[in-house]
């Protein structure tokens, strides 16, 4: 059995698994490892300080793999927003033709990408937003349930219902995101109508992930109860690892009178979050993690992880297929 889907056909990959864009993690060694393993690796554009650095990162990735990979462009509120257009143009000029987009008001960038014959995979947390993205011309949707790391939206809809609704309402391929980490999840996503899965947290606990070994081991020891939501009172909910800093952010949000972003700025600075990955201090800053941490039990190479996921999914699908076959009469 081969897990051939519209996603694998469209992207030219052999395993229907996408490594979602992750700040500080979507770098060449990670991206190439996923793509060489048969999935789709995604470079995170804004892990780079400027468009020229992104160009060099794309070139480095090409030295590490001859397989397809993409670039993530995320539009989120920022104190000093990046020059989105310059980053996108740099990637297009380096002949990247697969993009993952996310966040608010992506229309102009999606239009530019489609004018340059790019395949666009857009992340959505509601069916309403997914339909809007289709009108913009996206090719694939990532349907992100409430279980996902990062920003799960404000409507708190779990993946099972959201994915089933996607099957009812959407006319383009979609992948499942949030809570997926193994072959059982991949099989479930396909059963719910998806053409693959998006993994983020699970890829943190791999040999090639460019983060401190201590954080990988923390992920293995963690359970599905070890994440928390911050920024709920600000209308910008984010699921992150439940550490001392995240708990303090929530405490400040819940105090009488609440908190604004200025009250939280020093706690949630990106520089602090990056130290988690570089220094291995779980409490150095805010870092994203989904409830898929409860399914992480080891730290394999990306190739071993994807091979195992495909094998497990095929076994489960095969068992389900056998249940449909009539038993021979005695």
pLDDT tens, position by position, 142-167: 999 999 999 999 999 999 999 999 99
| pLDDT greater than 60 at residue 233 | yes
| pLDDT greater than 90 at residue 76 | no
Closest by Cα among 63, 70, 9, 47 to 198: 70
Beta strands in the chain (DSSP E): 17-19, 41-44, 69-75, 98-103, 119-124, 140-144, 174-177, 197-199, 227-230, 238-241
| pLDDT greater than 70 at residue 1 | no
Q: State residue 25's pLDDT score.
A: 97
Q: State residue 330's pLDDT score.
A: 56
| pLDDT greater than 90 at residue 321 | no
Bridge-based pairing state of the strands 238-241 and 227-230? antiparallel
Q: What global pTM score does this model have?
A: 0.95
Domains of the chain: 6-210+302-324 (3.20.20.70), 213-279 (no CATH)
Confidence of residue 259 (pLDDT cuts 50, 70, 90): very high
| pLDDT greater than 70 at residue 328 | no
Number of helices (H), then strands (E), belonging to the chain: the values are 14, 10
Confidence of residue 81 (pLDDT cuts 50, 70, 90): confident
**Separation CA 58–CA 94 (nearest Å):** 7
When pLDDT is averaged across residues 276-304 and rounded to a whole number, the result is 98
């Amino acid at each position: 059995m081969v897990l051939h889907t519209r996603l694998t056909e469209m992207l030219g990959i052999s395993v229907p698994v996408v490594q979602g864009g992750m700040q500080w993690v979507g770098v060449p060694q990670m991206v190439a490892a996923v793509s060489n393993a048969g999935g789709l690796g995604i470079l995170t554009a804004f892990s780079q300080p400027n468009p020229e650095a992104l160009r060099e990162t794309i070139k480095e990735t090409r030295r590490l793999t001859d397989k397809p990979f993409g670039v993530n462009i995320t539009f989120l509120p920022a104190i000093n927003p990046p020059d989105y257009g310059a980053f996108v143009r740099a990637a297009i000029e380096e002949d990247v033709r697969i993009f993952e987009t996310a966040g608010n008001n992506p229309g102009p960038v999606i239009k530019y990408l489609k004018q340059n014959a790019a395949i666009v995979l857009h992340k959505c947390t509601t069916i309403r937003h997914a339909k809007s993205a289709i009108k913009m011309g996206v090719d694939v949707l990532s349907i992100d349930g409430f279980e996902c790391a990062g920003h799960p939206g404000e409507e708190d809809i779990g993946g099972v219902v959201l994915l089933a609704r996607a099957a009812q309402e959407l006319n383009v391929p979609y992948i499942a995101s949030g809570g997926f980490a193994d072959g059982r999840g991949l099989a479930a996503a396909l059963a719910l109508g998806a053409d693959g899965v998006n993994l983020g947290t699970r890829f943190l606990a791999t040999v090639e992930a460019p983060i401190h070994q201590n954080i990988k081991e923390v992920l293995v020891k963690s359970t599905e109860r070890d994440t928390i939501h911050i920024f709920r009172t600000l209308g910008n909910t984010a699921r992150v690892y439940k550490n001392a800093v995240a708990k303090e952010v929530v405490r400040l949000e819940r105090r009488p009178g609440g908190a604004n972003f200025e009250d939280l700025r020093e706690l949630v600075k990106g520089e602090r979050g990056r130290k988690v990955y570089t220094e291995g201090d779980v409490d150095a800053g805010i870092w994203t993690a989904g409830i898929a941490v409860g399914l992480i039990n080891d730290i394999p190479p990306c190739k071993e992880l994807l091979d195992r996921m495909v094998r497990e999914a095929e076994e489960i699908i095969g068992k389900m297929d056998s249940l449909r076959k009539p038993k021979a009469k005695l």
